[in-house]
Structures are given as C-alpha cells and as structure tokens.
Amino acid sequence: MLVAVAEDARQPWTGQLRLAEAAGVLSLSTDLAMGQPLEHGLRTAILAVRLADALGLSQHEQATVFYTGLLHFAGCTADSEIDAGFFGDELAARPAMMSAFLGSRRELVSTAMRVAHPDLAPLGRLAAMSRSAAGGISEFRKWARVHCDVARLLGARMGLSKPVQDALRHLYERWDGRGLPGELRGDQVPLAVRLMQVAQDADMAWQRDGAAAACKLIAGRAGTGLDPAAAAAFGELGEKAFDQLDPESVWDDMLEAEPGPRPELAEDRVDTCLSAVADFADLKSTYTVGHSRDVAELAGLAGHAAGLPEPEIRLLRRAALVHDIGRVAIPVRIWAKPGPLNRDETERVRLHAYYSERVLDAATGLRPLARLAGAHGERADGSGYHRGSKAADLPLAAWLLAAADCYSAMREARPYRDAIPAERAAEHLTASAMAGRLPAEAVTAILTAAGLPVSGSARPAGLSERECEVLALLATGITTKQVARQLGISPKTCDHHIQHLYAKTGVTTRAGATLYALEHGLIQPQAPAATVER
C-alpha cells in the first residue's frame, strides 16, 4: 500500500484538466463544508441540467445552470465562523437548515431552534442564538451577501462565464421575495438559480426520503420558495428525474452531463483555479487565511533549494495550494478551541488530510496532487497521519510539503498561541529533524527557502554531515576502505565515523544503520529497473 502511494506521488502532471473537473473538486469540498452527503453538488448539477433540458433551454443556458448547480455552496466557508457562533456545530446544523430554507418561515425558525446548540438547555440555546444574531434580520442578510460575494469571486477566478457569476450573486433569493438579502423576487431571480433551487431541494429530499417524497416537496413549495414553472416542469419529469443517480459515484455522470463544448483548462489557468480552491479552504477560519498560498510559495522555493526538476516543483507547488481542502470537513469549534484537543477532536483533525486526498483523487488530472496533498501530515518516524508513512515511503517532494506546512503554521497565530517568530520556528523544525520526525534534507531546504541559517545539527540523532555522508555510502554496500577513498579520508577515520554513527543511532550493524537511514530520509531508495510478477 505505502509503496503504491509513493509511486503515485511521483506521477508527472498530465497537463489535462477540464474546467468541470476543477469545479467538481470544489463542489465536493462544499459538500464537506456544508455537512452534505458527498456528491450532493454533482447530483444537483445533473438534476438542474435535466430540468433545463426539459424546459428547452439552449446549450449555453444549460451550461450556466450546470455550473450554478455545482457551485451553489461555493461561498460557505466565508460564513463558517458566523454559523458556528449561531449553531455551535455548523456542520451538524447546516443540512437541516438548507432543507428548510425554501420552505415556510415557521419551518425555518423551528428547525433553527431544534439544531442550534443542541447540548444546551432551551433558554441557554436561545441566549446563544440571540448573541450571535443581535442585529436581527440584517445579520442574516449580511450572511447571504458574504456567501454570494465569495461564491461569485471564486467563480470568476475559475474562469466561469458572466451569467454563472451573476447567478452565484443571488443564490439565496426566493421566488416569493422572502429570500436573502431579499432584493429580488419572481423572474428577477436568475433562471439558473431558480432551477438550481428546485434541483437542490429535490436532491436533499431524495437522499432523505426517496423520489416520491422529493416530488411532493417540490410541488408543495411551488409559488412560495420555488419558481412554480420550474416546479411544474420537475413534476412532469417525476421520478424519472432521479434515474441512475444512485450508483457508487456520479462523478463520471456529472462530467458527461456538462452541456456545450466542455472546456479544458489552459496550463496558465490551472494555478488560478487551484488557488481558488485554496482560498475556499483557508476561509474556514480567520486564523488560516492565506495559509495555503504561503505553504505553496515556500514549498516551491524549497524545491529549487533541494534541486528538484521543474516539473516536480510545479507539482509540489500545486499540491501545496490544495493540501488543506479537507480542513473544511472539521467543525469550526475544533479549529477555534483555545486549549488542548481531546482524543476525539484530535482524531477528527487527523482526518482532514484523508479528506484532502479523497476529494482531489476524484479528478483524474489531479490524482498526482492528491497523493502529495494527502501526505502533508505524515512524519518520517511513522507518527504522522493519515497513513503513518515513514521517510522511505514518500518522495522528497512530500516531505518538503510537510515541512513547509509545519513552518508556515508556526509562523501564523492560532487560537491557542501567538505566531512563533521565525528563529524559534526554525529551532522547532530543526528539533523535528534531529528527533527523526522530518527528514533533514527537507528541513534544510525549507530553512534555506525561508532565508534562515541552517544548523549543522539538523540531522536525526545528532548525526554530523560527515557521518551522514559515510552512512549514505555504507548503504550502497561498498567497503569501509571504498567509503574512505570516495570521501578522501583514511580508513581509520572512516571507521571512527562508523562507530560514532552506530552509537548515535542505537544500531550495531551496517544493515541496521542502513534501515535507520532509510526510515529517517537520509538516503533515498533506488527504484528497480523493472518489476516482475512472481
């Protein structure tokens, strides 16, 4: 398993990525951030296109509907902290609130009272909600504007059309004018939004209670929250609207459902799209705004310092941009906790790297990024997450990303500590190398990229540079005399270095020292010339 991951992480960038794939990855991320079942956004897009086709819309109009359906939650991280203040656990509350949003006001209020701060007594729950919404309805209008403004900006960054951007500006308006911020009603609401809303509500109801219940709900909301013409057209489709929406995954169906020319991203647009995904993730908390961009810049510079070829540096920088997308799947209250995390909270945090990898893995063109991004929490001694990989299991690029993430995080303030000065962050990173948690080569490259002095002690077990050189040559199987000859030292001095490195690493044999070096990233394993099935 670990060898396969390492090989995948070394895959080259293919240069082929459809816009729908990039938007689909962001859509999966919005599902995580909204507490929705994965692929809700994909199914919403498929249902909305089926509805648009039934209404006779042009291919261009259907494409607008498609991308509006994919990204209807694209601004949700910008208001995560607001939702967390109002509800407590925003991920637990959001699915119920979204299911009720286009229903009656009574339904919406009763749902809010039920899901907000469920751990508190009724009076305490009401007090907490009141504190978070002291400004009344104006607070909720602000919430909608924030969400829609961010969704529109991210859509523009991804290169989506002006009609899609306009639709993303009005995601929470309603047919009856009782939406948020409440500036549009009826036909003033973009048609793509009206169709998306039918598809969105239909999918949530279908997931919960089945096709018949979904059709009934849409009919019941016609003329109030939902466009009556769109609801009627959906009613004519009936349960056929949900045909083939229940396989293991609808990712391929989503790609096939895209109307029109199905554009691919030009090479110079890939980084722009990935930076939009990065910013979406970092908006989860005010403490992490800009974090992914900083990690990507530092990792790219470190790649140059470590001598990686340019294609690998490009892959590393892109993986660094999206390494934290899984962060959105963890509630704000955990990220914002001012004190130590308990076991349950720690395990949930460790899962965010897994979510990053799985979301990125959905798009064929992003799978090389997925393997690197998912490894950013690993440690060379096997104590990291989510696979517990060791130094030899992953390429240098993965360790550069892990070290860059550590350094950048230390330089940023967190709820439980102030930002750590650069010199102290460098000391912590060096200590991690000495303890064998990060490969020394990666730490050296990161400190060099950050413009900081590199300590000669940035080696596990306090090994010197010369001892590391001796160890690397020993691992190739040559004799002590040959090692000495290559290094230009006497055999006696070489043997002296060998005995010292044995004592420092706690081993007594060449094989043990070689294994230690592999585990701590001091040497890289040689790939076989060919593989043979046996």
- Which residue is it, tokens 């992480």? 9
Q: Quickly name the fold that domain 21-77+137-257 has.
A: Hypothetical protein af1432 (1.10.3210)
pLDDT band of 127, cuts 50, 70, 90: confident
**Locate tokens 């992953």: which residue?**
394
Looking at per-residue confidence, does 131 or 42 come out higher? 42
Q: Under CATH, what is the fold of the domain 269-458? A: Hypothetical protein af1432 (1.10.3210)
**What are the φ and ψ backbone dihedral angles of 417, each rounded to 5 degrees?**
-165, 160
Are the C-beta atoms of residues 36 and 280 closer than 8 Å to each other? no
**406 pLDDT above the threshold of 70:** yes
Q: What is the pLDDT of residues 201-237, one digit of tens each?
A: 999 999 999 999 999 999 999 999 999 999 999 999 9
Count the neighbouring beta carbons within 10 Å of the beta carbon of residue 286. Answer: 12
Which residue in 371, 373, 368, 377 sits closest to 347, CA to CA? 377
Q: Name the amino acid, one letter, at 507.
A: V
**Contact between residue 42 and residue 29 where contact means Cβ atoms under 8 Å apart:** no
Task: Give residue-wise pLDDT tens across range 88-119.
Answer: 999 999 999 999 999 999 999 899 889 999 88
Q: What architecture is domain 462-519?
A: Orthogonal Bundle (1.10)
Asked whether the beta carbons of 133 and 145 are under 8 A apart, the reply is no
Domain ranges, ordered by start, for the chain: 21-77+137-257, 269-458, 462-519
Q: Rounded to an integer, what distance in angstroms lies between the CA atom of residue 210 and that of residue 403?
A: 47
Structure tokens at 320: 């660094």
Q: For residues 320 and 296, is the Cβ–Cβ distance under 8 A?
A: yes
269-458 shares the fold of 21-77+137-257: yes
**Residue 413 token pair:** 């303030």
User: Within a 10 A sphere around the Cβ of 56, how many other Cβ atoms?
Assistant: 9
DSSP 182: -
Whether pTM > 0.75 for this model: the answer is yes
Q: pLDDT grade, residue 126 (50/70/90)?
A: confident
